[in-house]
Amino acid sequence: MGKRIIQRARGKGGPRYKAPSHRFKGKVSYNLSPDVENGVITDIVHDPGRNAPLMLIEFPDGSERFQIAPEGVKVGDLVKYGSGLEPGSVLPINKVTEGTRIFGIETYPGSGPKLCRSSGSFATVLGKVKDKIRIKLSSGKTKEIDKKCLVSIGIPAGGGRKEKPWVKAGKKHYAKKARNKLYPITSGVKMNPVDHPFGGKTKPGIPKSVSKNAPPGRKVGSLSSKRTGRKKRK
């Protein structure tokens, strides 16, 4: 049967596939206290597990929370809750005017920031539809969410990171390693037969269908497929 394929080895676990989560700063969240007051940005830090930087916010009651840092904020700035349209302000989406760019969007009230958390990504408020608010994501897809969902105003910082080339493969290797991503990725058909069920194929036309009763190391490709290939036009 040969070696374990990468998917099976990753599922089994091991040092090679263990994420260095001890270096991550922690999760981002909103202050959901009913009597929450405005907070102050005490620090802006880099999180190895994220693209966008994080801002550490301290509230008057002494609690601290991490939130995605938007463009244009600095240490000492005030983060408003429930009002204001300054970068970083957190408020229900029904209080946001149409055309405003938002990020850190909740999928339901109290879920915490779920959408548009990567650097440079944002959504635009389109308008009200019955009891929901319609937004347009960076992908062009529209989505309707509850009007009580919290959002942050602005665009996550670090949007220009993709403009800088990697230059060397080693730099990309260590960047991927910081988040437990294998690099480079080799396709199965480029491998030897001992390394992958697709390996060693030098000519086209070899089917990739596999039985549902095949052992774990062999279950790669179309599992118990009824048919493959393009359908003929009538």
pLDDT digits (tens, 9 = 90+) for 143-202: 999 999 999 999 999 988 888 999 999 999 988 888 888 888 888 888 888 888 888 876
Ramachandran angles phi, psi of 145, nearest 5°: -130, 165
Model pTM?
0.78
In this prediction, what percent of the chain has a pLDDT beyond 90?
51
CA distance 222 to 146: 39
Q: What are the structural domain ranges in the chain? A: 23-161, 167-204
CA angle 75, 77, 79 (to 5 degrees): 120
| Token pair for 199 | 């390996």
* Residues 182, 183, 189, 194, CA torsion sign: negative
CATH architecture assignment, domain 23-161 = Roll (2.30)
Task: Say which amino acid occupies 157.
Answer: A
